[in-house]
Every structure is written in structure tokens, then in C-alpha cells.
Structure 1
Amino acid sequence: MQSFPVFLKLDGAPVLLAGGGDAATAKLRLLLAAKARVTIVTPAPEAELAELARTAGATLISREFSTPDLENKKLVIVATENEANDRGIAEAARAAGVTVNVVDRPALSDFTMPAIVERGPVTVAISTGGAAPVLARQVRGLIETALPKNLGDLAGFIDSFRGAVKSVLPTATQRRKFWDRFLSSAAARQVLSGDEGAARRDMLALLNRSAAGEVTGRVAIVGAGPGDPELLTRKAHRLLQEADVIVHDRLVSDDILDLARRDARRVYVGKARSAHFRTQDQINRILTEEAGAGHLVVRLKGGDPFVFGRGGEEADHLRAAGIEVEIVPGITAATGCAAAAGFPLTHRDHASAVTFLSGQGREGGEADIDWRLLAQARHTLAVYMGIDTARQARTRLIAHGRSPETPVAIVENGTLPNQRVIRGRLADLPDLLEREAVASPALIFIGEVTGDPIARTAETAIERLALAL
């Protein structure tokens, strides 16, 4: 960390602003928003700055800077846009012991001005230490889109209940857990949606239950997507930041887990074929016990929890136990891996249907599948957990009429830096998997869409020409 981040209170504090152009005007707006008592020194103030100073009650002195201007000032902002003038004022400020910032000249500054995101009392400051202000502005844009517009209202709502919460819950640990529960509750969501009346009713009910010791947790069953942490949904990211306990699968990457709250407890329940670290009954019991202890539990699953992820079974179990469950979908592995590999799942000229299917049955055997239906042309198949049963799938599809020449693509570690895409034809699928030593996680895609894009385009052009003739 090159600079120590602080928020400085300037309410009523005397601040000197040197400069009269656009840069000075922008800084004047920030200082006025912080309620500083601003004196502006410049020989030629531009009209916008002069009008803003007049309407806001700032003091405008139309002359060059002089050292006595620094007297009793808490802060100096220099924006003359002339390097010699900027340097001279900065040196004078430093000699007088006044903290100084020179716009766009970090070498002359005691501190740098961050890019700012403001939501009422919630302020986010982004700094690159003066190295790349443009990058700081881009980061600000990302944060602007991520933060709810009513976040400031939520901060004010919390402030209005702080006294009541402190009187009911005497210890800091109790209060921290209460506020964590509140931020993931319906009451917080109601504030953000603008329904503060309903939020107050739910807040009082939550506070009364907490005072009576009726602490109940909840479980969020969350899809972690195909692997790339940038493909997480915003809600999934937020819940990882709020979770007390994270119960995660083998296919959830360390990069995704690193986005979680630092003090969240992680429970690994990974499964592989014939190597279950935890049985499903054990996982269900862990979720129930952790939520029963009052924790916010994130059950984190690769892909989408409701696509071959047993999320539905876990949700049914938790609801039967009287535990609140939230489902957060993720980008399913098939759509994510196909996109990362560069081919569509459907295409107007090549595939009018797509089917996601599991290569394994309930007890690890062959899946009960209507191969006649799946063997039709212009139909993309995305096969999960299909490495060990690829030979049977190949044989049955061809036996029911699918061409042995149908293109296939195997996507191993899809969306991750070590992604591998292997292409071939249906007839050779088992040998291709063996020869390339394909390992899980990998998805098998069968269908015309997986072929070479140039070949697909040429084939389509020939078909259209034939129709025209």
C-alpha cells in the first residue's frame, strides 16, 4: 500500500483553493459538498467558478497567490494548471506545514485525490496513488453500476436503529451478528426497493426475535458458474461477502473462494466419481445444523445449482426442516463452456434444439435416456459427467441413427486459464477421450454446431445455393 487511505472531516474547516479554471471548479464542487469553508485565489477566475463561489458563499480573491493566504488553512488544493505556479504554491504550503494536493502532479502532492462513488453517507474512494487516474475512473464506473442507488437510504435506516439495537443486544459480538443478519434480510431489501414502512415492521420483528434469543439462520444455494470468477452473478458475489459459512464443492475454484469474507468458515464437501468426501445425507445435515445455529450459509456449487447439482434435493430438505432457502442461479457449465470454446449451442442453420443430459444414472450407472429422440439431426447434446460412459453414448446414438461423422467437442476446464478444447467426430469419441487423457471437469458436446466455424459457414452457403437452384 503506497498511501494510507483516510477520510478527512472538512465541515467548517478553512481550505485554500488556488486556481480558476475547469480543474479548480471541479475541486470546488467537492470541497463544497464536504462543507468546507473555501477561499479561492486566482488572478483570472472563469465565469463558472465565479458563479459557483458566489452562490455557495465561498470567498473569491482575484489576484495571484501570496504566502499569507496559507494562514490558518487546514488544507490547500492547487489547480493553477501552470507547473511553475503549482510548484511554488506547493513548496510554500509545505514550508508552512499545510497539507497540499496539486491537481495531476502527484510528485508535488502530500496526498492524491481519489475517484469517488457516493451514495448518501456511503462513500467509496478509489486511488492508484496518482499512477493512473484514468484507471481509477474506470474502476469507479464499475462500482457505480454495482452499488444500489438507495444504498445511502440503507445506511440512514441502520443509523436510526443503532440505539435500539444497542439497548437490546449488549455485546459487540451480538450486535455484529444481528447487523449481518439484517443486511441479508427482507427488511434490508425493502429499504433498497423504497418500501421503508414495511422495512421498519420487519426490522422490529427481527429485533424482537433476537432479543428473545430466537436466532435462525438461512441457506443460500448459489451457483458459482463454470469456473471464471468474473462470471459470478452480482448476487452470488454479495452473498459470499456476507456468509458466515461456505459449504463448497470440488469444482469451485480458489479464485472464487478468495472473494468470500475473510473470516467466513469454509466446509469442503467435494465429490468425485467413486470418491465422495461427504455423502448427500451428510451435506444435508451440515446445512441444517449450520443454519440452525443462526448462520448465513452459502451452499456454493459449480455451474447452476439446479442443473445436475442436486440443488433441488437440498432445497427440499431444508424447507422440510423449516429453514429459509434462497436460490441464486449461476451460469450453467454447458452455456459457459460452449461460449468460452467459441461455438453456439443452437444455430438457425445447424441446430434447432439443445439438450443437457447426465452421462450417469442415479447410482453411478448408465442414465435412463431416450436415445432415439437424442439421435435426431440438428440437435445439440451437452453431456455432463460423460467421460466414463462415452463409449455407450456413442454406440447408442449411432445405433439410433445419428451419423458417425457428427462433430463433437470436448471442453476441459472450461472458462479457466488452462481450458482445453478437443474436436473430433462421434465415431471416434471414446478413443479421443482416452488418447487426449481428458480429465474432469469436462463437458462433451455433440452436434453440428461444434464443428469448425469456417466449415459450418461453407456448408450453410452450399445448402442455400442448392435450395436456390
Structure 2
Amino acid sequence: MGLYPLFADLTGLPVLVVGGGHVAERKTAMLLSAGARVRVGAPALTPALLQQAEEGRIDHLAGSFQPAWLDDVWLVIAATDDHELNAEVAANAEQRRILANVVDAPALSRFQVPALVDRTPLTVAISTGGAAPVIARRVRETLETDLDHALGPLTALAQKYRTRITQRWPDMAERRAFYDWLHDGPVMALLRHAKPDEAEHVLLDALNAPASPSTKGSVLLVGAGPGDPGLLTLHALRALNRADVILHDSLVSEAVLTLARRDAERIDVGKRCGGRHTQQEQIHQLLLEQAQAGRVVVRLKGGDPFVFGRGGEEMAFLRQHGIPYEIVPGVTAAVACAAYAGIPLTHRDHARTVHLLTGHGKESMDAMDWPALAQDHQTMAVYMGVARLEEFTQRLLEHGRRPDTPFAIIENGTLPQQRVISGLLHELPARAKEHAIHPPALLVIGEVAALTHDHAWFGRLG
């Protein structure tokens, strides 16, 4: 194992940091957060350390290192840029049997300061024994994405009621099952929703109930973004790792689905053949059945659930049937695809407003305010409009939109096969036909669309 892992309680104990530079400043901040009484020994201090000394938060030992600085301290960190001085500090600490760490010198150190993932009171420490701190940092970055921030308050709540939990479930297997429920059930969900009082009430109800709490399923309505897995939010990634079953649209990329739990069941509920209402009802029933079976269900939608994703209907259905749910927003296609094509949806010189529209279905087309949409200096981002490009163009021109208004069609936006076709409004249908544009594709109309010529940075221009 090499090093013996240890979490030290330094509350109220004197510790010494030798050095007054920026490295010493970082080490001091960490020790202060652990409750230690920090002494910083150095001829001069950084402005931040000097302010802490003036405020009485640290003690400044001015001047060059003296062995007497080590009197009654519990550990010492040597953080100067003088190798000989650091070695002297370590040697004096060794004689007094005081644990010492010398920054960037593992051979001189009796302990290493690990990389931390802080979910107080839960703390995860990562160490390579000083061999490769950068690798420890990369591992920490991975854990930061995996570990839910609600784990901190959950651990604090479990700590608060630990004695009562042990008394309520003296059998270890039953107690373990309760902690699983605590982590996977409504308590954790409420903490994730920033509702600590409600979470505590649910925990107390479980402690006072005659039987163990039953596992109840839940649904997460999750936005998968437009396709590039790098655009997933941390909440979306964590949801995929919690899922027992995933109901996903056909537009959700395989690259995103591979990030899910390996044993999660996948159900493709993509709406083909026009997205009939009966298909949406089938999705509702699947959500209900899977949640009532006690499973964690992720309803994974391309883009954002609440932007032409019918997430509002599914949310209302779940609430009507008493199914707990969470909403995880996603990066919607208009924002992401336009950005990947080098098109700002708003621009001080070209676009004052943005309209998010759907060209899916005649009802959507008839409901649009065409005179308003025909005004200059605004951007239209049209979802699901490939099949109605000719009608869309005709209506805009009929209501006065300038024929030379720029457009851009972004096909397979954010994916490796992305391509952008651009031109002027009057030639839109012909250009789309010439290049055989197919869904998924986002249409952007407005002065900003012309910027793709100079600013496109991803994929290819048609």
C-alpha cells in the first residue's frame, strides 16, 4: 500500500507552515478549513496571508526559520522555494517526531497532502504518494463529476440520526437496506432539490414507522443535448448512472447512451411516422409502469425536455399519478447547433430578439405570427422544419421578409458529420434540395446566419 491513509482531526491544534508565498497561502487555507491553529513562519507574506495575520486568523512568525517554531506543533508543512531550508525543516521535525510534508519533495515527507473531493462531511482523498500529483488531480476531476453534491447534506443527516438509526435497525442487513433507501429514495431526491427540511421529515417518518420504508420509483426528465456527449450536464450524467431503465428518443446519440449504467435497460421510444398522440400515451404508460415497479426511470430527450420535447406533458402526467420526478435541463439544439456553426443567436448589430419555432405540423405553421416574424434584425431558430422549408420560405416572403435575408441549415449539429448549408432566403428550398438535407437539422434565419461564412469552426460547410 505504501502510505497509511489517515484523516487527522486538527481542530484547535497548532500546526506550522514554513514559507510565505502563494504555495504556503494555499496550504494555509486548507489547514484553516480543517479548524487548525495555523502559524506561518516567513520573513514576508503574500497580501492574503498578511491580511489573515492582521485579522488574527493566523499567527505570523516573522524572520528566518528557527527550530523553536516547532515547539508544541502537531505537524508542519515546508512550502518555501529553498530546497536546503525545506530539508532543514524536515530534519528538525523528524528529530521531534512531528509529521512533516515538504511540497514537491516526497522523499523528505512523512505525509502527503492528497487531492480532495469535498462533500462535507463526506471527504474523498486521492494520493499517489507524491509520485504523480497530476494523475491524482485527474482522478479527482473524474470523481467530482460522479459524486452528487447532495451527498454532503445526506451524510450530515445520517450523522445526526446515526444513534436512532442503529437503535431502530439493530440487524446489520436491515440497517444496510435502510441506508440504501436513504441514498436511492426520496430523502436524497429532496436534498438534491434543496429541500432539507422536507428530507428530514421523510427520514423521521421512516424512523417512526412500524415497518421499513418501501422503495418507490421515480422519473427523471433529462435533456441529453443535441448529440455531442461533451455537452451533457453533470446532473444529466449522474442521472444516467442512477437509472434502472432509460426511455430514450431516437435522436439521442449512441455516444450519450454509452455513458449510462451498463446494466440499465434501454427502451427506444423514438417518435417516428409523425409522432402520433397514441405514441405519447404509450410513453406515459411506460413511465407509470416502470416507476410503480420501484425503478429509477430516466426519460432521455434530445436537447431540452421543455423545448419542443413534450416534457411539460410528461411532468403533468407524473404529478397527476403521484410519481416523484426531477427535471434535468439540457442544452437545446438552437443554442448548441448555432454555436457549433459559429452563429450567435443574438448580436448587438444584427439581432435584437430570438424566436424558437417548430415547423412540425400544419397547426404549428398556422399558429405563427408571420407579420411579426417577417421583421428584420431578429433570429428565427426552427426545429423540425426540413419537411416544410418551401412553405416556410413562401410565408415569410409573402409577409415582407427580405428575400436576401441570410439563412443557415445545420444538419447533424454538434456531431462529427455536421454540415452547414447557407444562402439567402429566396433560394432556401432549392439549396436544401440541392444538398439533400435530411433531419435532424436546425434552420436559422436572420442576419446572424451570414456569420457562419467567417466564423464556422466545427464540421464542414456545404
TM > 0.5 fold call: yes
> Any residues of structure 2 matched to 1:340-359 within 5 Å, and which?
340-347=340-347, 350-359=350-359
Name the SS of the counterpart of 2:308 in structure 1.
Answer: coil
Q: Deviations over 1:293-350 (max 9, x none)?
A: 2233221212121222121232233233232333333332112322333334345654
Shift of 1:443: 0.2
Q: Which residue of 2 aligns with 1:408?
A: 407
Query: Offset of 1:110 from its aligned partner?
Result: 7.9
SS in structure 1 at match of 2:387: coil
- Aligned match of 1:464: none
**Deviation at 1:250?**
2.9
CA 1:119 to 1:370, structure 2 compared with 1: closer, same or farther past 3 Å?
Answer: closer
Shift of residue 422, structure 1, vs aligned partner: 2.2
Deviations 1:103-134 (A, max 9, x none): 12357668753344545422244668665769
For 1:170, the equivalent position in structure 2 comes to 174
| Conserved? CA contact 2:356–2:381, under 8 Å | yes
Q: Which amino acid aligns with 1:393?
A: F
Preserved contact between residue 206 and residue 212 of structure 2 (Cα < 8 Å): no
Of 184, 202, 209, 2:188 maps to 184
Partner in structure 2 of residue 289 of structure 1: 289
Match of 2:216 in 1: 216
1:438 aligns with 2:434: no
Q: Secondary structure at the match of 2:309?
A: coil
Tell me whether 1:424 sits opposite 2:428 in the alignment: no
**Equivalent residue of 1:451, what SS?**
helix
* Contact 2:223-2:328 at 8 Å conserved across structures: yes
1:89-104 equivalences under 5 Å are 101-104=101-104
Shift of the alpha carbon at 1:170? 0.8
Cα distance in 2 for residues equivalent to 1:92 and 1:190: 49
Aligned partner of 1:373 among 365, 371, 374: 371
1:225 matched to 2:225: yes
Tell me the matched-pair count.
430
Give 1:392's aligned amino acid. E
Distance 1:304 1:209, change over 3 A: farther
Change (3 A) 1:131 1:188: closer
Q: Give the 3-state SS of the residue equivalent to 2:326 in structure 1.
A: strand
Equivalent residue number for residue 6 of structure 2? 8
Q: 1:161 to 1:405 in 2, by over 3 A?
A: same
Report the Cα distance in structure 1 between the residues aligned to 2:269 and 2:57, rounded to whole angstroms: 63
Query: What does residue 390 of structure 2 align with?
Result: 391
1:50, distance to aligned residue in structure 2 (A): 12
Structure 1 residues 302 and 36: alpha-carbon distance in aligned structure 2, compared to 1, 3 A threshold: same
2:458 corresponds to: none
Amino acid at match of 1:10: A
How large is the RMSD of aligned CA atoms in angstroms?
Answer: 5.3
Give the direction of change, closer, same or farther, for the CA distance of 1:158–1:400 in structure 2 (3 Å limit). same
Inter-partner Cα distance in structure 1 for 2:76 and 2:133:
22
SS at match of 1:452: helix
Conserved? CA contact 1:376–1:401, under 8 Å: yes
Q: Secondary structure at the match of 2:429?
A: helix
Instruction: Quickly say closer, same or farther: Cα 1:264–1:316, change in 2 above 3 A.
Output: farther
TM-aligned CA distance change 1:4 to 1:281, over 3 Å: farther
TM-superposed deviation, 1:230: 5.1
AA aligned opposite 1:442: A
CA contact (8 A) 1:19 1:80 kept: yes
Structure-2 residue corresponding to 1:316: 316
| Partner SS for 2:361 | coil
Structure 1 partner of 2:83:
83
- CA deviations on 1:268-290 (whole Å, 9 max, x unpaired) are 325264398x9433322221122
State the Cα distance separating 1:90 from its structure 2 match: 7.5
- Post-superposition Cα deviations, 1:37-93, rounded to whole Å, max 9, x if no partner, equal 99x9x999999999999989xxxx94499xxx9xxx999855564335656888999
**Match of residue 205 from structure 1:** 205
Distance 1:134 1:267 in 2: 34
Q: Unaligned regions of 5+ residues in structure 1, if any?
A: 456-469
The residue identity in structure 2 corresponding to 1:335 is V
Deviation for aligned residue 1:444 = 0.9
Contact 1:78 1:102 (8 Å CA) reproduced: yes
Counterpart residue number, 2:157:
157
State the secondary structure of the residue aligned to 1:405.
coil
Secondary structure at 2:382 match in 1 = strand
Q: From the superposition, tell whether residues 181 and 25 of structure 1 become closer, same or farther in structure 2 (CA, over 3 Å).
A: same
Q: Give the AA of the match of 1:433.
A: A
Give 1:409 shift: 0.4
How many angstroms apart in 1 are the aligned matches of 2:351 and 2:80? 64
CA distance in structure 1 between the aligned counterparts of 2:42 and 2:396, rounded to whole angstroms: 84
Offset from partner CA, 1:219-242 (integer Å, 9 cap, x none): 221223333455445544554454
| Residues in 1 aligned to 2:412 and 2:210: alpha-carbon distance in whole angstroms | 45
DSSP-derived class of the 2:185 partner: helix
**Following TM superposition, by how much is the alpha carbon of 1:358 offset from its aligned partner in structure 2, in angstroms?**
2.3
Contact 1:222 1:304 in 2 (8 A): yes
Normalised to the residue count of structure 1, the TM-score between the two structures is 0.68
Aligned residues with identical type, % of pairs: 42
Deviation at 1:171, TM superposition (A): 5.9
Q: Offset of 1:354 from its aligned partner?
A: 3.6
Aligned AA for 1:179?
A: H
Preserved CA contact (<8 Å) 1:116 1:123: yes
Letter in 2 for 1:8: L
Amino acid at match of 1:411: I
Residues 383 and 442, structure 2, Cα contact 8 Å, conserved in 1: yes
* Residue pair 1:337, 1:414 contacting (<8 A) in 2 also: yes
For 1:317 and 1:266, how far apart are their aligned partners in 2?
22
Describe the shift of the 1:431–1:185 C-alpha distance in structure 2 as closer, same or farther (beyond 3 A): same
| 1:211 aligned counterpart, secondary structure | coil
| Whole-angstrom distance in 2 between the partners of 1:359 and 1:306 | 17
1:451 is aligned to 450
Q: Distance in 1 between matches of 2:135 and 2:268?
A: 43
- Partner amino acid, structure 2, of 1:440: P
What secondary structure sits across from 1:216 in the alignment? coil
